[in-house]
């Protein structure tokens, strides 16, 4: 099943606009959230088929939020791709250990992101 609905979680308005624009141009339906509370509200409204998750956010960070989503039986089947400026191998490994299916660093390369989404779909 091809992925159509994506939830982008990032506390940066600039990053949200950039990713939303990129994804919409590629035929995806996009919702956004800026923190953990927003994220769970969006999940309850309309379950996405993929989540793009920033790591560095106020309150719950992306690693913690990924773990919380993966542990929730309602949402544990949604693939999560970490999308972050944290580019250390240890961050990537930690993100995948929290349950993320993939990891991409900012600035996001559009072709790389589309290939990762297609691989999950």
User: Which domain CATH number covers 21?
Assistant: 3.40.50.2300
Residue 15 lies in a domain: yes
Range of the domain at 59: 8-81+91-104
Task: Render pLDDT for 46-68 as a digit per residue (tens, 0 to 9).
Answer: 999 999 999 999 999 999 999 99
Domain tally, the chain: 1
Residue 46 lies in a domain: yes
Residue 111 lies in a domain: no
Residue ranges of alpha helices (H) inside 26-108 are: 36-45, 62-71, 89-97
Residue 1 has pLDDT above 70, yes or no: no
Residue 2 lies in a domain: no
pTM: 0.97
Q: What is the C-alpha to C-alpha distance for residues 83 and 95, in angstroms, rounded to an integer? A: 10
Residue 118 lies in a domain: no
Nearest to 121 by CA among 75, 67, 79, 92: 79
């Amino acid at each position: 099943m091809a992925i159509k609905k994506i939830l982008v979680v990032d506390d940066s308005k600039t990053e949200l606009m950039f990713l939303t624009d990129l994804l919409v141009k590629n035929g995806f339906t996009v919702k956004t959230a800026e923190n953990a509370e927003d994220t769970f509200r969006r999940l309850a409204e309309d379950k996405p088929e993929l989540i793009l998750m920033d790591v560095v956010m106020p309150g719950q960070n992306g690693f913690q939020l990924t773990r919380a989503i993966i542990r929730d039986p309602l949402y544990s089947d949604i693939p999560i791709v970490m999308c972050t400026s944290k580019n250390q191998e240890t961050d990537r490994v930690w993100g995948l250990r929290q349950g993320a299916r993939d990891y991409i660093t900012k600035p996001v390369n559009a072709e790389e992101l589309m290939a990762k989404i297609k691989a999950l779909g």
